[in-house]
Amino acid sequence: MYPRNRPQHWLALSLCLPLGTAMACGPDFPLRLLDDRAQNLSELPEGSFQFEVSRLGRAIAGLKPATGVAFDTDYSRDEDPHVQARNAAEQQGLSEAQRTRVAYLRTLQNPQQVLAEGADLPPELRLYTAGAVAFNIGQSDVAALLFRQVLALPAEQRALRSTWAAYSLGRTLSAISEHATALDAAGRQEVVQHARQAYRQARQLSIEGFSDPQELGIASLGEEARLARQAGDWNSAIELYASQNLQGSPVGYSSLKQLMNELGALPDDQLNEVLKGQAVQQLVTAALISHVGWSFGEQPPLEQKIIKALLQNTAGSLDNADRLAALNYQVGDYATTKTLLEHAGDGGLAWWLRAKMAVREGDKVAATSAYAKAAKSFPQDETWGYRMTASGDYETLKPGCRVEGESALLALERGDYLQAFEQLYRSQDLYWLDAAVVAERVLTVDELKQFVDSRVPAPAALTQQERDNYVPLPVAARLRDLLGRRLLREGRYDEAPAYFDNPQLQGLATEYGRLRQAADSGWWPSRRAANYFNAGWLARSKGMELLGYEMDPDYATFDGGYSLEAPAVVVAPLISAGEVQRQQASAAQPNERFHYRYVATGLASRAADLLPHSSQAFAAVLCAAAGWGTGVEEQRALYQRYVKEGPYVDWAVNFGHQCPYPDFQSADKRYVTQAVEPLRTALRPYKTWLQMGTVVGFTALALWLINRHKRRAGRNHA
């Protein structure tokens, strides 16, 4: 079977660990917008928390983004992996002798001993290493003094440890503020402010180009945010974590999610007070419209409390209007949604919500216009990531593609079928299943062919190595394959082969068309029968690739391995009579799973119609067709036809399973025999009388001839 190279995500079966009764799990399938059109138009999908928090905070100018650099870690050692990474970073820029000395000094437990034994090291290395040892043994005051001495060195003498010293000073002062019992509240607050200044200095030093292999400049954002949060400054904490996230640190993202958990645990009065801050409002709104904390479609228990508090504290506010409108739409407050949208600007989300509100109000013209503006407003590269729907389907949500897909539903309703297809096709893989339905069931074959000829050139064929590695076909190639199969199904054999994506399929399509044309136009019965049978065999063995529907009923998109529940094609809201008529006209004939198998047995039956019933070929054709997997009823009908009309053959005991190839050439000898067989059958009861009559007839004829000869001889003699 020629591989169609669908993503392995659709081809592989998942296995569930048995809990009590073992249960098998199938694959997840993509969301199909055509399945529940009303639901998909009314629903606003949850956003992406990752994307939403990227709108908060600001990137730090000059601070290099996180690279995800990793140092080799030996997990067989008892040493903590983070310590191993730190030690590896410490060796950068050092000579071999310095590496050995620093590694040794790190093992000491006395900062004064470090200073003494590291006297031959450059001052920044000696002072920083001594400060690190002091910090590790809890001598925070000593550590802070040593780190400050590093920073007091001339810039040219501290290229390797400046950023390190500032960051470590921040950590040291933070520890002092937490554990120093001699400090009052004001003293603690002052130390915290110095710690925050140290973290800011670490960022500035990293920006200025001082060594920062561990990306401490980025890490300082999270450390400063932690101090802000401990001081009750939620807004600053959120802004700092958001900046850390923008720099590419996963710590910033996870910390923002943790803040949401902490907010949900606050008493109502504290929550209401904190929600007066703009950054807090933005974070909470981002989390709520993204369904952070939801599990299998179930809302977290504390979310209703947070929603209520947020909406109370943002009543009348026009800040973040499009996101607040989205939240109100999701909770069903359409009046507030409409009010907020008046001030929400011209962003993609605002226009998407306006389109949905117009659909709710029955204004399809306004909805179409709003969808068009939304599609233009969303950046092409904006993605909200992976989501699971309530029905268990998955969707990789790109809002620009989603709004075009929803607009396509309205285009189908008003009869703009080609526009609907084009909007779905632009999503490529995302809504390919919907585009395929429109392509093979709604568009006419000529409409589809014109679109493909003008807009979808053939992509480069996959190499054999790519096929062996299950590289999926490009969507353009899938569409061209779909058209090629449709042309073959509709008998346009000369046009079809060029649309298949590889030479093998093109050759098979050409051969199938040749056999069908030869069978339909030939005149010698046995040759026509051979062509019908061979076309049927090809339809059975390669039917998915040559004749299969991309979607219902064959699901070539899954190589036939899975089927989906197809919605009923009846006139309904959002489904016009014109679309229903088109879908019914293009339905599979017969409309059965693996319909091409029925096509194959139909061709075999036509071959049998042309063959002498007493021939081996007749029996062999029916035998083969019975094994082509069309179901028990058709298999029984083929066998009963053989029993009623065909000859006895010793291999009939395995009818449908072990069948010889039909001997079409020998069947030619049976045509005359079959033609006179009815007469012989009718006269068989009168065989004896016919034999006697024949003898009498021949005798009488002989006597008449003899008598006639004698009369002529007598006249000649006279």
pLDDT in tens, 314-324: 887 778 899 99
Q: Is there a contact between 45 and 349 (Cβ–Cβ < 8 Å)?
A: no
Q: Is there a contact between 590 and 602 (Cβ–Cβ < 8 Å)?
A: no
- List 622's β-bridge partners, or say none: none
Q: For 517-573, how does the pLDDT look when each residue is reduced to its tens digit (9 = 90+)?
A: 999 999 999 999 999 999 999 999 999 999 999 999 999 999 999 999 888 889 999
Least confident of 14-28, 187-201, 338-352, 443-457: 14-28
Residues 6 or more apart whose CB falls under 8 angstroms from that of 500 comprise 480, 481, 484, 506, 509
Sign of the torsion angle spanned by Cα atoms 383, 384, 386, 390: negative
Query: Residue 2: pLDDT above 50?
Result: no
Start-to-end CA distance of the chain, whole Å, equals 92
Q: Which residue has the tokens 């000395």?
A: 101
Least confident of 92-96, 430-434, 621-625, 690-694: 690-694
Q: For 87-112, how does the pLDDT look when each residue is reduced to its tens digit (9 = 90+)?
A: 888 889 999 999 999 999 999 999 99
β 24-25/394-397 pair status: unpaired
User: Which H or E element spans position 260?
Assistant: helix 250-264
Higher pLDDT: 34 or 9? It is 34
User: What is the pLDDT, as a whole number, of residue 442?
Assistant: 98
User: What is the pLDDT, as a whole number, of residue 297?
Assistant: 65
Q: For 274-310, how does the pLDDT look when each residue is reduced to its tens digit (9 = 90+)?
A: 999 999 999 999 999 998 877 666 777 778 888 888 9
Share of the chain above pLDDT 70, in %: 88
Residue 523: CB atoms within 10 Å: 6
The SS3 assignment for 566 reads coil
Full-model pTM: 0.83
DSSP symbols for 82-111: HHHHHHHHHTTT--HHHHHHHHHHHT-S-H
Distance (Å, whole) CA 99 – CA 552: 68
- List 25's β-bridge partners, or say none: 14
CA nearest 254: which of 46, 48, 66, 50?
50
The phi and psi torsions of 350 (rounded to 5 degrees) equal: -60, -45
Query: Residue 127: pLDDT above 80?
Result: yes
- pLDDT (mean) for 52-56: 92
Q: What is the dihedral of CA 623, 627, 633, 639, to 10 degrees?
A: 10
Q: Is there a contact between 128 and 164 (Cβ–Cβ < 8 Å)?
A: yes
Q: Is there a contact between 62 and 243 (Cβ–Cβ < 8 Å)?
A: no
Q: What is the DSSP letter of 211?
A: -
User: Maximum Cα–Cα distance for the chain, whole Å?
Assistant: 172
Query: Residue 24: pLDDT above 50?
Result: no
